[in-house]
Amino acid sequence: MRAYQTLLYYCYSPIENAEEFAQQHLEFCKSLDLVGRIIVADEGLNGTVSGTQEACKAYMDTVHADERFAKTDFKVDEVDEPSFIKMHCRYKAEIVHSGLRNPQVIDPNKRTGVHLEPKEFLELKDREDVVILDVRSDYEHNVGHFKNAVRLDIENFREFPEKINELAKYKDKKILTYCTGGIKCEKASALLLHEGFENVYQLHGGIIKYGKEVGGKDFEGKCYVFDNRVAVDINQVNPTVVSTCFNCGAVSSKMINCANPECNEHFTQCDECGWKMDGCCSEACREHPRKRPYDGTGYYVKIPQSVDVSKRKYKKFPEKTLLTNE
């Protein structure tokens, strides 16, 4: 048994005075010496926290004791060290940004796709009348995805509503949605139903639970996670690596953030290119005066900064860090 655990969870449940709750919850987490990242919104909780076995048990027990969150499904990983550096608990408008002008029209507590347990998903996924839909961002599915899954070209889940028209050709199919832990599928499946899709399903507990309960069969590559582990193994049945190094094209599953904080591109880079490029995606970034020291991990604590995008002299990339799961 390892000394620490990492908990991945979410719960759609209305929270009154959610902004005040976020501050109180932060103090509670700190009292347990937990580290991680939690988003609190009027609609519920979305978090990943890490700490000792005892602290994680105390956290889960306390959350489950609150009737608002009694149904919370925790995905628990045993880890050698905490998966974060600091503890953050912030209030936001949504626990996962939907990109909808009026997100209230989609309420996962009222209507979502049919929840499939991992065994049911495994039994259905290869049928001819089924389409597997990855609702995650491109940087996530590039490092790992289900075999034959439809993958959307989106930099962030908030772009998902813009892709609905592209999915219209699958309206006569059973659509099996999946994501890391299940939270994005709650809104993605609800939106598909709202837009007239009839046979919509979602993988309950996401990729993480699928790996734990049925061995991860046919999940190709690794699963991107939103902590300093970056990507974790899922497939214990027929594993493979599908991602390639951004710089040289070699097969690699290692994802990093560019060492230039004004670029911060999230990309796959092999160890050889990592040291050669000093953790940067390009020579321009390697020579940038603000380049952060590279220690081989490509993981940096997020520091708020003001960036003048108009003055960039290199390719514009989405602002992503390892500390966000939207």
Q: For residues 109 and 13, is the Cβ–Cβ distance under 8 A? A: yes
Burial of 124 (0-12, 13-18, 19+ CB in 10 A): middle
**CA gap 242, 221 in Å, rounded:** 5
Catalytic-residue membership of 263:
no
- pLDDT at residue 209 greater than cutoff 80: yes
Catalytic position from the list 179, 223, 245, 281: 179
Q: What is the largest CA-CA distance in the chain?
A: 54
**CA gap 171, 180 in Å, rounded:** 24
**CA gap 260, 280 in Å, rounded:** 7
**CA gap 284, 312 in Å, rounded:** 10
**CA gap 10, 45 in Å, rounded:** 5
Q: How much is the pLDDT for 138?
A: 93
Which tokens in the block code for residue 158?
């908030």
Who contacts 61 (Cβ-Cβ below 8 Å, separation ≥6)?
Answer: none
- pLDDT at residue 71 greater than cutoff 80: yes
Give the mean pLDDT of 97-120. 90
Locate the domains of the chain by residue range: 4-91, 103-232, 256-326
Q: Report which of residues 52 and 312 the model is more confident about.
A: 52
CA atoms within 13 A on the CB side of 102: 2
Give the mean pLDDT of 103-113. 88
Who contacts 261 (Cβ-Cβ below 8 Å, separation ≥6)?
Answer: 290, 291, 292, 300, 303, 305
**What is the CATH architecture assignment of 103-232?**
3-Layer(aba) Sandwich (3.40)
CATH number of 4-91: 3.30.70.100
Give the mean pLDDT of 83-88. 95
Percent share of the chain, pLDDT over 70: 92
H-only helix segments in 125-167: 138-141
